[in-house]
Structure 1
Amino acid sequence: MNCTNPPLTTVRQPIEAMGRTAVTLLVSQIEGATVTAEELLYEPELVVRGSTGPVRVRSSAFVE
């Protein structure tokens, strides 16, 4: 369903993987396991839609 015109470019997060990891860590804690406080990184996906235009070519700021 498209709610904007043009459709907006967004970043898609891996919600299923993030939720699965959160539940696994929570269950481990409930069962008494020691869970380390580490940073978990997930690979987002850029979803390019109509709100993203072509890259403009800029002239060089330095003149030789």
Structure 2
Amino acid sequence: MLVGGFDDSAIAPATTPPLTTVRQPLARIAAELVEVLTALIAGRPTSSRVLPTELVIRESA
């Protein structure tokens, strides 16, 4: 059986077995969000953004 999580919380590697998870670039997500909101407030067009994620394979996989 495969058990997985999302966001790679601090508890993920501490569980038994350590939890496989998907890690997101939170600092970059925040920076992109600020850029989009600033553009929207200024009335400029925005576009969708796709940011990379990382699969962190641990023992639960």
Structure 2: how far apart are the matches of 1:35 and 1:20? 17
TM-score by length of 1: 0.64
Structure number with higher strand proportion: 2
Moved beyond 3 Å, runs of 4+: none
- Hey, what does 2:45 align to over in structure 1? 35
**Residues 13-57 of structure 1 deviation map (CA, whole Å, 9 limit, x = unaligned):** 111111101011112222x23123x321111001111112xxxxx
**Number of matched pairs:** 49
Highest Rg: 1 or 2?
1
Q: Which runs of 5+ in 2 are unaligned?
A: 1-10
Residue ranges of structure 1 left out of the alignment (5+ in a row)? 53-64
Q: Distance in 1 between matches of 2:52 and 2:35?
A: 19
Give the CA RMSD over aligned residues. Answer: 1.5
Work out which of the residue numbers 14, 19, 32 in structure 2 matches 1:21.
32
Structure (1 or 2) with the greater helix fraction: 2
Distance 2:51 2:40 in 1: 22
